[in-house]
C-alpha cells in the first residue's frame, strides 16, 4: 500500500507536467501555423478524420456502390439517383453547391442544383438515415471520368434498402422525369465517347403540326397506348419499344413530327448520324448508352443502309474515283448491326424507347428494313393537301377564309407543294392579302414550270422522222 502511494505523482508534479505539455502544444501549433500551409493541414486533418470515420462506419454500416455503367449498359439505378438526389440538396447548406441554368431566355428562373462531387447528401427513408456521395475518377483507359454513387446506411437496414428504398428511388425518378420541363437533344461526341446534350426548345406540337386529322389521331393514340403498355409488351414477350418510319419529300414536316412526338411524350432525343459511326461494335456502345424514355432518331436512313452504301460505292467506281474513297464507304455500320437494335437481341436493352427513322427515299431502303414488324408504323409525310393548307393559313395568318382561298386550293391540288414552301410564303407578310397573293403567284409559277417540263418531255418522246 505504501509502495502504491509512493507511485502516485504529487499535485505539483501534475501541474508541472500539464504546464510543459501546454507549452509544447502551443509551440507545436505555432510552428504548424507558421511553416505548414493551411491546405496541407486541412488535408491531413481530413485524412485522419476519414480514417477513423471509415473504421467505425465499416463495422456497423453497409455501403452500396452504384456505378454509372453496369453490364455494358447505362445503370438505371445510377440514373435514378442522378435525377432524384437534386431534390435532396435543399438540406445542403455548407460545402460546395453546384448551380447552373440551361435556359438562355431566363437563366435565373431556371436555376438548378447539380450534384457536387465528394459531398455527403443526407436522405431519410422510413426513419432510416442514409448518406449519399457522388465519386468521380479519371480512368486509365478512357479520357472520360468514371462516376459512381456510394449509399451508406446501418447494416440492419440492408434488406429494406435493397427492396423498398431502391423501388422508391426508381419511382421518384420516374415521377420527376415525367414532369421535367427541359428536354434535351443529344449528339454523339466521337472523341469523348459520350452523348453531349443541348437544350431542345423546338415548339412544334401536334397542335401546330399541319397534318391530316386522322393521321394525328392515329399517332397520338398509338403513342398513348405505347406509354401505358409496359405490362402488355411484357406479356407478349416483346421489348418495350416502338418504331416509326417517317418518309416523304424534303420539307413535308418529318423533323417537325419528331419534335411534336418528343414534346408530347416528354422524351429526350438522341440524334444519331449513322454515317459517322465506325462499325457495329461502336454502334452497340453508342446505343446502349442512351437512356430510357427517349427517342433514338436516325435521319436520312437511306444513307446508312448497306444497299445505299453499295450504291454509293458503285457510283464512285463508275466515276473512276480512287480506291481509298471506296474503302471509306465500305467501312461502317452494317444493316444487320442496326436491325439487331431495332428488333434483334439487343433491342431488349433498355425500355420505353421510340426509334424513328426518316428518309426522303423510301424506295431506296433495304427491303429488310421495311419487312412487316421491323418498323411498327410507316408514316408518309406528303405534299400539302387543302386541309393542311387551311391549317397553315389559320396558324400563320390567323384567318380561316379569304377570297384567294379557292384559287390557291385549286392550285394546291394541281402542283406538288410542300408545307415548308407554303409556310415560307405565309411568313413573308403578316398582311393576309400580301402573303396569300405571294403564295398564289408562286403556285402559278410552279404550275407553269410543270407544264413547260411536261411539254419538253413530250417533245423528247416524239420521234424525228429524218432519223428513222
Separation CA 250–CA 359 (nearest Å): 9
Residue with cell 420539307: 251
Is residue 228 within 8 Å of residue 171, measured between CB atoms?
no
* 211 touching ligand ATP, by CB under 6 A: yes
- Least spacing, CB of residue 145 vs ligand ATP, in Å: 35
In angstroms, what is the minimal distance from the CB of 420 to ligand ATP?
A: 3
- Interface with ligand ATP, residue 426, by CB under 6 A: no
Binding span for ligand ATP by CB under 6 A among 66-74, 82-90, 314-322, 415-423: 415-423
Contact region with ligand ATP (CB under 6 A), list: 77-85, 157-165, 397-405, 418-426: 418-426
How near is the Cβ of 264 to ligand ATP at its closest, in Å?
15
Closest contact distance (angstroms) between CB of 365 and ligand ATP is 14
User: Which of 121, 153, 169, 210 lies at the binding interface for ligand ATP (CB under 6 A)?
Assistant: 210
Instruction: Pick the piece of the chain touching ligand ATP (CB under 6 A) from 96-104, 205-213, 266-274, 431-439.
Output: 205-213
CB of 276 to ligand ATP, least distance (A): 17
Taking CB under 6 A as the binding criterion, the range among 116-124, 250-258, 338-346, 453-461 that sits at the site for ligand ATP is 250-258
The least distance separating ligand ATP from the CB of residue 362, rounded to whole angstroms, comes to: 12
Q: Which is nearer to ligand ATP, 78 or 396 (CB)?
A: 396
Q: Which residue has the cell 437534386?
A: 86
Among 66, 89, 134, 209, binds ligand ATP (CB under 6 A): 209
Q: How far is the CB of 252 from ligand ATP (least distance, A)?
A: 4
Q: What CA–CA distance (Å, rounded) separates 125 from 168?
A: 9
Residues 82-141 that bind ligand ATP (CB under 6 A): none
Query: If binding is defined by CB under 6 A, does position 254 make contact with ligand ATP?
Result: yes
Tell me if 256 contacts ligand ATP by CB under 6 A: yes
Among positions 61, 119, 340, 360, the unique one binding ligand ATP when judged by CB under 6 A: 360
User: Which residue's Cβ lies closest to ligand ATP?
Assistant: 253
Contact call for residue 419 and ligand ATP (CB under 6 A): yes
Cell 437481341 sits on residue = 345
Q: How far is the CB of 299 from ligand ATP (least distance, A)?
A: 7
Judged by CB under 6 A, does residue 420 bind ligand ATP? yes
Cα–Cα distance measured from residue 82 to residue 134, given in angstroms and rounded to the nearest whole number: 9
174/409 with CB nearer ligand ATP = 409
Q: Does 253 bind ligand ATP (CB under 6 A)?
A: yes
Instruction: Please identify, using beta-carbon distances, which residue of 85 and 185 lies nearer to ligand ATP.
Output: 185
CB 192 within 8 A of CB 143: yes
State the Cα–Cα distance between residues 254 and 202, nearest whole angstrom: 13
Q: Which of 251, 304, 337, 350 binds ligand ATP (CB under 6 A)?
A: 251
For residue 423, state whether it binds ligand ATP (rule: CB under 6 A): yes
d(C-alpha 154, C-alpha 59), whole Å = 10
Comparison of 134 and 258: residue with beta carbon closer to ligand ATP? 258
Binding site for ligand ATP (CB under 6 A): 209-211, 250-256, 360, 381, 419-420, 423
Amino acid at each position: 500500500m505504501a509502495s502504491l502511494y509512493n507511485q502516485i505523482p504529487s499535485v505539483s508534479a501534475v501541474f508541472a507536467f500539464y504546464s510543459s505539455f501546454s507549452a509544447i502544444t502551443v509551440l507545436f501549433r505555432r510552428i504548424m501555423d507558421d511553416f505548414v500551409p493551411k491546405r496541407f493541414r486541412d488535408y491531413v486533418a481530413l485524412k485522419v478524420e476519414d480514417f477513423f470515420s471509415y473504421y467505425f462506419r465499416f463495422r456497423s454500416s453497409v455501403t452500396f456502390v452504384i456505378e454509372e455503367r453496369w453490364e455494358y449498359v447505362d445503370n438505371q439505378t445510377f440514373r435514378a439517383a442522378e435525377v432524384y438526389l437534386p431534390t435532396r440538396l435543399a438540406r445542403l447548406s455548407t460545402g460546395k453547391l453546384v448551380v447552373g441554368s440551361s435556359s438562355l431566355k431566363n437563366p435565373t428562373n431556371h436555376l438548378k442544383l447539380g450534384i457536387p462531387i465528394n459531398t455527403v447528401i443526407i436522405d431519410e427513408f422510413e426513419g432510416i438515415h442514409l448518406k449519399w456521395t457522388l465519386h468521380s475518377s479519371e480512368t486509365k483507359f478512357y479520357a472520360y471520368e468514371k462516376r459512381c454513387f456510394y449509399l451508406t446506411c446501418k447494416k440492419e437496414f440492408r434488406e429494406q434498402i435493397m427492396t423498398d428504398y431502391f423501388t422508391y428511388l426508381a419511382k421518384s425518378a420516374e415521377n420527376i422525369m415525367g414532369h421535367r420541363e427541359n428536354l434535351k437533344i443529344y449528339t454523339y461526341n466521337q472523341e469523348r465517347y459520350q452523348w453531349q446534350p443541348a437544350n431542345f426548345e423546338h415548339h412544334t406540337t401536334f397542335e401546330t403540326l399541319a397534318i391530316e386529322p386522322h393521321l394525328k389521331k392515329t399517332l397520338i393514340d398509338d403513342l398513348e397506348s405505347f406509354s401505358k403498355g409496359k405490362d402488355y409488351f411484357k406479356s407478349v414477350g416483346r421489348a418495350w419499344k416502338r418504331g416509326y418510319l417517317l418518309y416523304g419529300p424534303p420539307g413535308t414536316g418529318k423533323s417537325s413530327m419528331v419534335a411534336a412526338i418528343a414534346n408530347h411524350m416528354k422524351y429526350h432525343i438522341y440524334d444519331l448520324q449513322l454515317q459517322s459511326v465506325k462499325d457495329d461494335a461502336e454502334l452497340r456502345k453508342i446505343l446502349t448508352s442512351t437512356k430510357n424514355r427517349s427517342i433514338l432518331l436516325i435521319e436520312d436512313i437511306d444513307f446508312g443502309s448497306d444497299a445505299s452504301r453499295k450504291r454509293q460505292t458503285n457510283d464512285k467506281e463508275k466515276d473512276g474515283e480512287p480506291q481509298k474513297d471506296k474503302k471509306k464507304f465500305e467501312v461502317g455500320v452494317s444493316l444487320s448491326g442496326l436491325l439487331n437494335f431495332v428488333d434483334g437481341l439487343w433491342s431488349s436493352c433498355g425500355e420505353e424507347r421510340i426509334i424513328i427513322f426518316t428518309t426522303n427515299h423510301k424506295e431506296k431502303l433495304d427491303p429488310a428494313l421495311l419487312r412487316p414488324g421491323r418498323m411498327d408504323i410507316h408514316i408518309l409525310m406528303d405534299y400539302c393537301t387543302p386541309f393542311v393548307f387551311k391549317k397553315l393559313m389559320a396558324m400563320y395568318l390567323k384567318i380561316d377564309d379569304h377570297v384567294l382561298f379557292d384559287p390557291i386550293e385549286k392550285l394546291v391540288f394541281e402542283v406538288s407543294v410542300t408545307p415548308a414552301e407554303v409556310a415560307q410564303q405565309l411568313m413573308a407578310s403578316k398582311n393576309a392579302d400580301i402573303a396569300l397573293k405571294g403564295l398564289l403567284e408562286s403556285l402559278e409559277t410552279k404550275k407553269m414550270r410543270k407544264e413547260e417540263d411536261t411539254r419538253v418531255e413530250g417533245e423528247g418522246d416524239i420521234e424525228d422522222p429524218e432519223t428513222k
